[in-house]
C-alpha cells in the first residue's frame, strides 16, 4: 500500500501516524509538507494527522483546510483515494467541506484524554471491514474540540446511509448522537476523533487502530 501523511505546521501526531502505518501495514508512508501542491503519484491512502495545525488559529483546522496540500487531497479524494483524518485531521476535513458538520468545544469545556470504547456502527466500510464480527473497538481520544455537531437532518441522513462508522459508548465530549467517526457519501473519506495511531499494538492498550489501517490496505 502506498500512503502519505500530510504534515501541517503544528501537527504533532504525524510521526505517530507514520510509525502506526508502517507497523500496521508493513509499508512506510511518504511525509508531505502542507505547502506541497502535488502529492506522490499512485497513493492509496492519505492520512491527516492530529495536532494543532496553524496553532488552531481562527478555528481548529480552518487554516489547514486552505493549504496547497489540501487542494491536492481534495482532488485525490474525488478520484476515490482513501483519506483518513484523525482528530485535528477530522476538523480539517470538515473545514475543507469534505465531510459535513463541525467540531465544537467539548461540552464540559475540558480537554479529554483517555481510552474510549466505541461501537462499530457500520462494519462494512473500507475502514472497518477488518474488524470481522467484532462490534466494539477501543481507542484513545485526546481532544479539546471533539464535540461533533451537525443538524438533525444531516445526522438522520448519515445514519440512514450507514455513514456513522463509530459511536462512543460513553460520550466523552458531548458529540451529537455520540458520533465518533463518519464517512463521506462515496465511503472513501473517514473523519475519526479517537486516535487509531495511538492504538496499533497491545502495549499501547489496544491494537484496534492497526485493524483500521489494515482494513484500508486490504480494500486496495
Partner 1 sequence: MRAKVEVFLKPGVLDVQGKAIEGALQGLGFSGVTGVRVGKTIAFDLDQQDPAAAEAEVKAMCERLLANTVIEGYRVEIA
Active site residue ranges = 87, 195
Shortest Cβ 103–partner 1 spacing (Å) = 9
- Spatial distance between the Cα atoms of 121 and 56, rounded to a whole number of angstroms: 30
* Alpha carbon 199 to its chain's center: 13
Shortest Cβ 148–partner 1 spacing (Å) = 11
Q: Which of 100, 130, 172, 209 lies at the binding interface for partner 1 (CB under 8 A)? A: 100
Shortest Cβ 84–partner 1 spacing (Å) = 21
CA-to-CA dists, residue 140 to 1, 30, 104, angstroms: 25, 25, 19
Examine residue 107 and tell whether it contacts partner 1 (CB under 8 A): yes
Q: Tell me if 49 sits within 8 A of 90, measured CB to CB.
A: no
Examine residue 106 and tell whether it contacts partner 1 (CB under 8 A): yes
Examine residue 102 and tell whether it contacts partner 1 (CB under 8 A): yes
CA-to-CA dists, residue 88 to 22, 91, 145, 172, angstroms: 21, 5, 9, 16
List the x/- string, 59-88, binding to partner 1 by CB under 8 A: x--x---x----------------------
Q: Which of 35, 38, 58, 132 lies at the binding interface for partner 1 (CB under 8 A)? A: 58
- Spatial distance between the Cα atoms of 11 and 50, rounded to a whole number of angstroms: 6
Shortest Cβ 59–partner 1 spacing (Å) = 6
- Spatial distance between the Cα atoms of 111 and 97, rounded to a whole number of angstroms: 25
What separation, in Å, do the N-terminal and C-terminal C-alpha atoms of the chain show?
8
CA-to-CA dists, residue 197 to 13, 24, 79, 119, 187, angstroms: 8, 10, 25, 18, 20
Shortest Cβ 62–partner 1 spacing (Å) = 7
Residue 26 in grid coordinates: 508493513
Q: Which of 50, 89, 101, 209 lies at the binding interface for partner 1 (CB under 8 A)? A: 101
Examine residue 209 and tell whether it contacts partner 1 (CB under 8 A): no
- Spatial distance between the Cα atoms of 148 and 140, rounded to a whole number of angstroms: 16
Q: Dihedral, CA atoms, 209, 85, 124, 179, nearest 10 degrees?
A: 90
Q: Which of 37, 41, 42, 109 lies at the binding interface for partner 1 (CB under 8 A)? A: 109
The residue (of 101 and 196) whose beta carbon lies closer to partner 1 is 101
Q: Within 146-175, which residues bind partner 1 (CB under 8 A)? A: 147, 149-150, 174
Q: Which of 74, 104, 112, 129 lies at the binding interface for partner 1 (CB under 8 A)? A: 104
Q: Please give the residue ranges that form the binding site for partner 1 (CB under 8 A).
A: 58-59, 62, 66, 94-95, 100-102, 104-109, 147, 149-150, 174
Amino acid at each position: 500500500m502506498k500512503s502519505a501523511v500530510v504534515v501541517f505546521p503544528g501537527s504533532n501526531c504525524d510521526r505517530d501516524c507514520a510509525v502506526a502505518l508502517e507497523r500496521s501495514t508493513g509499508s512506510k508512508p511518504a511525509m508531505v509538507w502542507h505547502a506541497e501542491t502535488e502529492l506522490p503519484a499512485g497513493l492509496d491512502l492519505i492520512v491527516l494527522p492530529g495536532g494543532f495545525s496553524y496553532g488552531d488559529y481562527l478555528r481548529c483546522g480552518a487554516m489547514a483546510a486552505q493549504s496547497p496540500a489540501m487542494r491536492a487531497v481534495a482532488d485525490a479524494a474525488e478520484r476515490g483515494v482513501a483519506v483518513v483524518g484523525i482528530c485535528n485531521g477530522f476538523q480539517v476535513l470538515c473545514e475543507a467541506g469534505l465531510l459535513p458538520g463541525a467540531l465544537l468545544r467539548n461540552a464540559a469545556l475540558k480537554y479529554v484524554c483517555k481510552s474510549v470504547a466505541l461501537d462499530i456502527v457500520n462494519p462494512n466500510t473500507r475502514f472497518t471491514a477488518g474488524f470481522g464480527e467484532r462490534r466494539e473497538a477501543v481507542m484513545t481520544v485526546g481532544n479539546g474540540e471533539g464535540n461533533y455537531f451537525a443538524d438533525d437532518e444531516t445526522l438522520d441522513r448519515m445514519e440512514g446511509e450507514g455513514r456513522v462508522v463509530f459511536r462512543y459508548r460513553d460520550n466523552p465530549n458531548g458529540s451529537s448522537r455520540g458520533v465518533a467517526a463518519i464517512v463521506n457519501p462515496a465511503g472513501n473519506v473517514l473523519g475519526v476523533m479517537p486516535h487509531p495511531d495511538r492504538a496499533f499494538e497491545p502495549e499501547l492498550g489496544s491494537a484496534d487502530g492497526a485493524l483500521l489501517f489494515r482494513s484500508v490496505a486490504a480494500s486496495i
